Amino acid sequence: MQRTMCYGPYPVYNVTIDKGGNVKYYGEMFVYKSGEHHWRITEKKVKQLNDVIEDFGFRSFVYISS
């Protein structure tokens, strides 16, 4: 997931989580932690995250900017 820059003091970051639970985070601006950070989440948390993504229908989500 990535949040890019826009007008105002909004967070700019990128976070990637692989199937093994390895998290890679890079915070750029207006974030609690700047720079690159790595950690691991449990298999249970990966499954919960995948379930939320599926329930939301994220894969079919289309963003239309005005």
The pLDDT score that the predictor gives to residue 6 is: 87
Residues 31 and 23: beta-carbon distance below 8 Å? no
pLDDT beneath 70: ranges in the chain: 66
> Per-residue b/e over 28-53, b at no fewer than 16 CB within 10 Å?
eeeeeeeeeeeeeeeeeebeeeeeee
The pLDDT score that the predictor gives to residue 66 is: 64
Nearest-angstrom CA–CA distance, 17 and 42: 11
The pLDDT score that the predictor gives to residue 57 is: 86
The pLDDT score that the predictor gives to residue 19 is: 94
